[in-house]
Amino acid sequence: MKHKTGSPSLSRLIRRSMNSSTLFTILVFAVIVTILLSVVIRPLAQLGAQLVAHSTMREMTSPAFPKNHGIARLEDLSPEATGFERWWKTVERQEVVNYRIPWIDGDEPLAYDEGREMPRALHTVDIVVRLGDQELYRSAYLSPSGTAEEALRERNWLYDYFNKPYFAPIVNDDGEEVGLIIARIYPPLLVEIVGVTAVLMLLLGLLCFYVNYLLGKWLIGPLLRSLGQLRNVFRRLADGDVDELFEKGIQMDRSYSEIEDIAVETGRIIDNTKMHMEQLKQKNEELEAQKKVLTHQATIDGLTELNNRRHFLELIGGRLGEPGLMLMLLDIDDFKRINDTYGHAGGDVILEGFASVLKESFGGHAVVGRFGGEEFAVFSTRLSEEEMRSGAERLRAAIQSAVFDLPGSRSIGVTASIGVAYAPQNVLTFEELYQQADAALYASKRTGKNRVTVFGESPFRLPG
């Protein structure tokens, strides 16, 4: 038997819940990290770019700047100017001095040597200085080709969100814009931290899934096995497959106290079920025995053990259409005198012996019954006329030759008058057959008793 249910599996539900909780935890962690980066790092990077740009611009727009670099005014600054190299170094210091973390080699840090080797940096500053149509300065780490915007995009295509460039215009004394400083904080160490964080998150997810597997195997597995065993026990109970359960009881893992309690209660249910089934079996046996007794009493004559009249009619009802049909009625001759002489006990002995002769003479498919008092009936089909006559005569002779032992060591014999209704191709109802057989029986009684009369062979006078 297949058991269908619309409910989800507990094991799948637990595993999905654990996996979903793990995934949710990782996603929440990722969202928190992203929010921190967005809320904290991006403004700090833009603020740093703004500070660098304004620091560079303050130097360039200070009154002493032209004099210190050997030029008459700021617009005259160009690579050909005598102080350009000095100015270049000034801008470069804005880029490198305050934002370097030297490599650690043993106990001594490596000093920055003003070269272009890239030490590990908390922040790297990208600076582009334009004056008029000239680009006076571009950070060495940017691509030398293309415009400043293209170089910044090429360098930082993955980090536009976190370090957007800051544009600071250079204005002369008359308020005219004569140049532009573009500054941007590029945080390589921070990017590495984010990458490492992503890897750690991935490893954390894998670790959580592995922990889920261990929890499922170590904690949840026994629980699910026990519940599955209980489910199988109740299925077998529902299907009626209980013999082994009754014999061996519940065989299951009891990994937790709750499961053990359920198993104990289930064992009690099985024991009670066994007791009730045994009681039910006993009741069924008693009812079956009572049914047999009642059926016997309702269908069998208590004295002769022959079919009573009602059951006799039930048995022959479906055979009235068969060919070669014979209904024979028998009456013990002078039975009242036997009762008067030997008492009812003697009469009962005669009736029992008479019934035995009938059963011995007509076995097989013949139906033999007692219609009441000393009247008996025999019904049979598929008999030829000769078989009918010889059988009836043989029965009469057997009755005549029988000796019945009465109480008090007495033995007597009896005779019987027999009337037969025979129909080779029956088109009659049972009532019509019975009338014919009864008329033939009456003729046998009237013409001397101890004889067989077949209906239609002698002059008949219907009783009454």
* pLDDT per residue as tens digits for the range 233-257: 777 777 766 666 666 666 666 566 6
- How is the chain split into domains, by residue range? 10-186, 243-293, 307-454
Please give the residue that has the higher pLDDT: either 361 or 422: 422
Give this prediction's pTM. Answer: 0.46
- Could you say which architecture CATH assigns to the domain 307-454? 2-Layer Sandwich (3.30)
Query: Of residues 95, 374, 387, 431, which has the active-site annotation?
Result: 374
* Low-confidence winner among 78-87, 113-122, 271-280, 343-352 (lowest mean pLDDT): 113-122
Active site residue 154: no
* pLDDT per residue as tens digits for the range 419-455: 999 998 877 788 999 999 999 999 999 999 999 999 9
Please give the residue that has the higher pLDDT: either 464 or 304: 304
Q: What pLDDT does residue 455 have?
A: 93
Q: What pLDDT does residue 206 have?
A: 75
8-32 mean pLDDT: 69
* pLDDT per residue as tens digits for the range 50-104: 888 888 888 888 888 888 888 888 888 888 888 888 888 888 877 765 445 555 4
Please give the residue that has the higher pLDDT: either 91 or 225: 91
Please give the residue that has the higher pLDDT: either 26 or 127: 127
Q: What pLDDT does residue 194 have?
A: 65
Q: What pLDDT does residue 158 have?
A: 52
Using the predicted structure, report yes or no on whether residue 330 has a pLDDT greater than 80. yes
Could you tell me what percent of the chain has a pLDDT over 70?
Answer: 74
Q: What pLDDT does residue 188 have?
A: 56
State the pLDDT confidence band at 352, using cuts at 50, 70 and 90: very high
Q: What pLDDT does residue 118 have?
A: 44
* pLDDT per residue as tens digits for the range 105-140: 455 544 444 444 444 555 678 889 998 888 989 887
HEC per residue, the chain: CCCCCCCCCHHHHHHHHHHHHHHHHHHHHHHHHHHHHHHHHHHHHHHHHHHHHHHHHHHHCCCHHHHHCCCCCHHHCCCCCCCHHHHHHHHHHHHHCCCCCCCEECCEECCCCCCCCCCCCCCEEEEEEEECCEEEEECCCCCCCCCHHHHHHHHCCCCCCCCCCEEEEEECCCCCEEEEEEEEEECHHHHHHHHHHHHHHHHHHHHHHHHHHHHHHHHHHHHHHHHHHHHHHHHHHHHCCCHHHHHHCCCCCCCCHHHHHHHHHHHHHHHHHHHHHHHHHHHHHHHHHHHHHHHHHHHECCCCCCEEHHHHHHHHHHHCCCCCEEEEEEEECCHHHHHHHHHHHHHHHHHHHHHHHHHHHCCCCCEEEEEECCEEEEEECCCCHHHHHHHHHHHHHHHHHCCEEECCCEEECCCEEEEEEEECCCCCCHHHHHHHHHHHHHHHHHCCCCCEEECCCCCCCCCC
Q: What pLDDT does residue 50 have?
A: 84
